[in-house]
Chain A
Amino acid sequence: MALEPGEHAQEPGVVDDIGEVKRLELYRLQALIRAAEQRAYDLFLQNLVKGTSHLSLGQEAIAAGCAAAMQSGDLSFCTYRGHAHTLARGVPVAKVLGELMGRDNGLMRGKGGSMHLTSVEHGVMGSYAIVGAHLPIACGAAWRAQYKKQSDVSVCFFGDGATNIGAFHEALNLAVIWKLPVIFVCENNLYMEYTPIADVTAVPSPAGDRACAYGLPKIVIDGNDADIVYRTMIRAFALARSGGGPSLIECLTYRYSGHSRADPAKYRPAGELELWKQRDPIHLYRQRLLQLGIADSRLLAIDSDVQRIVDEATEACKAARTTSIDVLFTDVYADGGCAWRN
């Protein structure tokens, strides 16, 4: 099975090929990610979250669509903009917010912070803050699956900016020549940090137009439509699991906030944000579910449930102890400590 280029043009839109259960899951995941990230932003303003953070507000459909297509055991490799992908795999909100707040209940007890969210038990194999570093790492995990004849697939998320770094090209080449069960998902939000990606990239589609260099089909999809993301991923998983090798999928999207906490995003042309907000992934998905006959009350129930989860997580984190100073010197080496000499 080969993935076809220009898939977004062929999508049926509101034909219910996905099913109500999965669609409600897609809605719920997007709503949860949105609520949790908005809360993370609020906690920053209250100075309860320190350091930096990189939010995915507006990009939720990609995380939700990919996670909903994954099976237990599949592996996620994320970037420093990784809250959404971590939450999408089922990591509890309190563990994520606790990590951002430096609390003892945090996912890594405050040792990693916002840019390094990791939950191995959920298949979240790390969030990598050096752009492009994790594409080869995802190849290695996929190599292990291939070598040990295990059925899991590694999914590597990265931004448009990563397509201009060497590791992207090394990883793509290796994945193709070794036919690795890995899926590369480029979240093209149009900006490489503060700079429009088009200003610094040789081709219009930073990932899609590079695919041909590695013998892969060009796949550029609407990343604000969770159904399209989900369907595309289902096909990519089938290809990977059948020994057909890697896929490179470019998802067009837009981030509502700046690159990071420090960025007010003043470089964007007037009206651009508003235009994209008309294509808000959650609003779009809600309208689709209503069109499909799902009662508004059910969606409202999901909204309020998600809000309750985030509120309870916030209170749990506020009540949690700050992380123990005992962990400062632990887990540098496998013996649990940090001794580098006798």
Chain B
Amino acid sequence: MAELTYREAVARGIAQEMARDEDVVFLGEDIAKAGGVFKATVGLLEQFGPLRVRDTPISEQAILGAAMGAAMTGLKPIAEIMFADFIAVCYDYIANEFPKSRYMTNGQVKCPLVVRLGNGGGARFGAQHSQSVENWCMQFPGLKVVAPSSPIDVIGLMAAAVRDPDPVIFIEHKSLYATKGEVPDGEILDTLGTAKILRSGHDCTLIALAMMVPRALAAAEQLQDRHGIDCEVVDVRSLVPLDTRTILGSLARTHRAFTIEENPRVLGWGAEIVSIIADESFYDLDGPPVRITTPHIPLPAADILEDLAIPSVSRIVETVLRSMTS
């Protein structure tokens, strides 16, 4: 057992898979010699050499296209797109190429690759380096999408993503890189498509992803301590496949649901979950499902503004309290 940061977990997760399988290769901008702009890939070049850990030009289409061609023909590439916002310049691969190749070819073409993204706000980087783009990825049949919130989940879900035969978008949260967690020694392998109940409770379910998970947990403590509201907290972890059983199972016990989403409001993943709740668990509800999101605005740079935009612990507490007591 060791205490690792989330960023150290990224490197350990990649290293675990590269050591296990020589077909795992890694490419991206500044990932090799520089160890990543977020220092999440330090040491990989030294451990695995320049043929397997390759710095690329600032050519996001070339990065994802090359990853796909390698994946189609036998490798298991991990590609990094430094800031998640940049997938907009190589969206063709996310939208048209990775997810449709198997279907269009009646199963002939395989695309087993992982795309890592530095996602999310909190770093005061402004509107083009802070977005939460999970919804940009979730909408395409054929893709899988995971977003771990803790170091142990980073390693386990990275291993699952690399070993998965489908293309997986692996969303890391930039503001979680410095957070720490206990990680056992030895190989860690998790399962895609599984949510985790991180806190049991009776009164309502907080459904959160990535950086919203620690905020949901902190809000749950305050709601318990100050207001006597006992929240269950579900870490969604995997948007596709989506573990609706765990989510709806929690709701069947608590009868109230809150989604906590960092993305701007329109078409957030929480909307999909709320629609599933409406379809399949309507009679479990004691009140309307509530979505707590960033407003439908671009993210501002100034700290005071960004903090107002992204759901905070106090906003979660206030929203839950208002809904549960009205």
Contact = CB atoms under 8 A, between A and B. Distances in A.
A107 B68 CA distance: 22
B31 to A, nearest CB: 15
B75 interface: yes
Interface of A: 75, 77, 107-109, 111-112, 116, 118-120, 125-126, 128, 130, 133-145, 147-148, 154, 166-167, 170-171, 173-174, 177-178, 327, 330-334, 336, 338-342
26 contacts: A111-B105, A112-B104, A118-B104, A120-B109, A125-B109, A133-B65, A133-B93, A136-B68, A139-B65, A139-B69, A140-B67, A141-B70, A141-B72, A142-B69, A143-B66, A143-B70, A147-B75, A174-B56, A174-B57, A177-B57, A178-B54, A327-B106, A330-B107, A332-B141, A334-B110, A334-B164
Interface string B37-55: 0000000000000011010
Nearest to B276: A341
A297 to B, nearest CB: 40
Given A136-B65, A141-B69, A333-B142, 13 more contacts: A108-B105, A126-B109, A130-B96, A137-B97, A140-B72, A141-B70, A170-B57, A173-B57, A340-B242, A341-B243, A341-B276, A342-B193, A342-B241
Nearest to A340: B240
Contacts of B244: 341-342
Q: Which of B56, B64, B105, B276 has the most CB of A within 10 A?
A: B105
Contact of A174 (B59, B75, B107, B276): B59
Q: Which 9 A-B pairs have the closest CB atoms?
A: A136-B65, A140-B69, A334-B165, A140-B66, A170-B62, A170-B59, A141-B69, A331-B107, A108-B106
A3 to B, nearest CB: 23
Nearest to B245: A342
A336 B105 CA distance: 12
B316 interface: no
A167 B69 CA distance: 14
B243 to A, nearest CB: 6
A143 B69 contact: yes
Contacts of A144: 69-70, 73-75
A339 B241 CA distance: 8
A135 B166 contact: no
B68 A140 contact: yes
Contacts of A145: 73
Nearest to A129: B96
- Looking at chain A's contact residues, the main secondary structure is mixed
Contacts of B74: 144, 148
Q: Which of B59, B71, B77, B240 has the most CB of A within 10 A?
A: B59
Contacts of A143: 66, 69-70, 75
A128 B107 CA distance: 16
A342 B105 CA distance: 26
A120 B105 contact: yes
Contact of A332 (B25, B96, B142): B142
B175 interface: no
B45 to A, nearest CB: 15
Contacts of B141: 332, 338, 340
Contacts of B97: 128, 130, 133, 137
A327 B105 CA distance: 11
B135 to A, nearest CB: 14
Contacts of B101: 126
B281 interface: no
B61 interface: yes
A116 B104 contact: yes
